Amino acid sequence: MDPARTALLANFRWIGSHADVWRVFADGDALRAVVAGLVDPWRDQRVTRVVGIESRGFLLGGAAAVALGVGFVAVRKGDGLLPGAGLTTEAGQDYRGLRHRLRMQAVLTAGERVLLVDDWAERGSQALAARHLVESAGAEFLGVSLLIDQLDPAARSALGRVTALATAEDLGPPAG
CB atoms within 10 A of CB 152: 10
> Residues 13, 176: contact at Cβ < 8 Å?
no
Tens-place pLDDT, residues 8-38: 999 999 998 899 999 999 999 999 999 999 9
The reported pLDDT for the residue numbered 176 is 65
Buried (b) or exposed (e) across 52-73, using 16+ Cβ within 10 A?
bbbebbbbbbbbbbebbebebb
Task: Domain 45-166: give its CATH code.
Answer: 3.40.50.2020
Tens-place pLDDT, residues 33-79: 999 999 999 999 999 999 999 999 999 999 999 999 999 999 999 88
Distance CA 143, CA 29 (A): 26
Is the pLDDT score of 120 beyond 80? yes
3-class secondary-structure state, position 150: coil
CB atoms within 10 A of CB 176: 8
Please give the model's pTM, rounded to 2 decimal places.
0.96
